[in-house]
Amino acid sequence: MSPRAPDDARRQFLLRVLRIGAASAGTIGLGAFLGGRSRRPEEGAATGLGRDHAVAANAALPEMVVAQGPSPQLLVQKAIDDIGGMSRFVSAADTVLIKPNIAWDRSAEEAATTNPDVVAELVRLCLAAGARSVIVTDVSCNDAESCFARSGIADAARRAGAEVVLPDTRHMRQVDLKGGTLGVWPVLEPFLDATKVINVPIAKHHSLTGVTLGMKNWYGIIGGNRSRLHQRIHESIVDLAAFARPTLTVLDANRVLMRNGPTGGGVDNVEQRNTVIVSTDQVAVDAYAAKAWWNLDVPRLRFLQLAEERGLGRTDFASLRTHVLQV
């Protein structure tokens, strides 16, 4: 070991003091900074309030179109055409969210999920109207990948040019739904980011509400422990419908699940109705379908009554300007 000059030792000492000083200052600073950040953990603030996606009414055009015929694709085409064409609802600046029912791991024939041809045709019409992008998504009950694949919707929508988004729990935002029953719930981001929203439910039987139609389909935009909603199902349906306010409702009733809903299983529960209903009034669609195929009246369906009281639409569907088309 070589002897060191005294000033070298001094320099070493000073350097050491500096290092220790810097390290202490850093530690104290970081500690103080992190200490100041200490707060009781809270849920992230709720953001992104609901918007009304509806377009202006037009007295010259029908408010509801009931199209009947064998080809689901044609039914959608003609019905949309009749209600003013897709360009009435979708323009070049729009990001359109199409929300079918993809809740269950069932094939299209079992009528537990929306008809893929209906979804695909809507995608094509939106793109033809110049939409910037079209997103198809739903928060499934069964495994999402399987539901999206088996229903045929993922494939059909992709081929028509849509972006198919699997519902990822990490892509939910906490939103204050401002309902009487539903407060802050996680909502799927693509829904919050969309400028136009088209609800594409399928008509099905349901043991609690009798039917599950358009407004109940909004269960599929939220995450969380949804199975609690059934305790006040009518109120939660209406809270969601008030939050969602779609541009259009396109009810798929080509195949109707008459029994054993909403999961179905087997084709013997399914009846051919060859119908698509398009309307700007989400309440009227539900009232019409409940009456048409289950003979359920408004007094039996509390969610319809509540929805009308909230001003979401009219249960008296006969008062709407309605066209019935045979396609």
Partner 1 sequence: MRGTTLRRLRLASQITFFLLFVFLLLRTEFPGSVRSAGADVRVPYPVSLFLETDPLVALATALSTASLYRHLLWAVPFVLLALIVGRGFCGWMCPLGSLHHFVGSMKSERKRGPKLLESNRYKRWQSAKYYVLTVVLVMALFGSVAGLLLDPLSFLVRSMATAVLPVLNYGLRASLDWAHELPLGPARVGVSGVATVLDATVLSFRQPHFHQALAIGLLFAFVLVLNMRVTRFWCRAICPLGAMLGVVSRWSFVQLQKHDEKCNDCKRCELHCQGGDDPIPGAIWRKAECHLCMNCLGDCPEGGLSFTWSGRPGKQTRETPQLQRRAVVTSLVAGAVGLPLLRTGPGVKAAGDPLLIRPPGSVDEEHFLDRCIRCGDCMKVCPNNALHPALFEAGVEGLWSPVLVPRIGYCEPNCTLCTQVCPTGAIWEMTVAEKIGSPARMAPDGTVQQPGRDPNRIGTAFYDRGRCLPWAMGIECIVCEEWCPTSPKAIYLVPAQVTDATGQTKTVRQPYVEPKRCTGCGACEFACPIKGRPAVYVTSAGESRSKANQFLLPENQPLQRS
In whole angstroms, give the CA distance from residue 103 to residue 37.
42
Closest separation between CB of residue 326 and partner 1, Å? 28
Closer to partner 1 by CB, 11 or 232: give it.
232
Chosen residue from 8, 230, 316, 324 binding partner 1 by CB under 8 A:
230
Q: Would you say 191 and 115 are in contact if contact means Cβ atoms under 8 Å apart?
A: no
Chosen residue from 8, 18, 266, 324 binding partner 1 by CB under 8 A:
266
Per rule CB under 8 A, is residue 150 in the interface with partner 1?
yes
Q: Would you say 315 and 283 are in contact if contact means Cβ atoms under 8 Å apart?
A: yes
Q: Would you say 90 and 130 are in contact if contact means Cβ atoms under 8 Å apart?
A: yes
Chosen residue from 208, 272, 316, 318 binding partner 1 by CB under 8 A:
208
Per rule CB under 8 A, is residue 27 in the interface with partner 1?
no
Closer to partner 1 by CB, 9 or 208: give it.
208
Per rule CB under 8 A, is residue 231 in the interface with partner 1?
yes
Closer to partner 1 by CB, 39 or 228: give it.
228
Q: Would you say 204 and 211 are in contact if contact means Cβ atoms under 8 Å apart?
A: yes
Per rule CB under 8 A, is residue 54 in the interface with partner 1?
no
> 243, exposed or middle or buried, with CB in 10 Å at 0-12, 13-18, 19+?
buried
User: Which residue, 260, 184, 192, is CA-closest to 221?
Assistant: 192
Chosen residue from 174, 181, 260, 305 binding partner 1 by CB under 8 A:
260
Per rule CB under 8 A, is residue 269 in the interface with partner 1?
yes
Chosen residue from 2, 227, 295, 326 binding partner 1 by CB under 8 A:
227
Site string for partner 1, 86-105 (x = CB under 8 A): ------------------xx
Site string for partner 1, 65-84 (x = CB under 8 A): --------------------
Closest separation between CB of residue 155 and partner 1, Å? 7
Per rule CB under 8 A, is residue 152 in the interface with partner 1?
yes
Closer to partner 1 by CB, 57 or 267: give it.
267
Residues sharing a CB contact under 8 Å with residue 306, sequence separation 6 or more, in sequence order: 234, 235, 238
Residues 159-198 that bind partner 1 (CB under 8 A): 166, 168, 170
Per rule CB under 8 A, is residue 143 in the interface with partner 1?
yes
Per rule CB under 8 A, is residue 141 in the interface with partner 1?
yes
Chosen residue from 67, 262, 307, 313 binding partner 1 by CB under 8 A:
262
Which positions lie near partner 1, rule CB under 8 A?
104-109, 141-146, 149-150, 152, 154-155, 166, 168, 170, 206-208, 225, 227-228, 230-233, 259-260, 262-266, 268-269
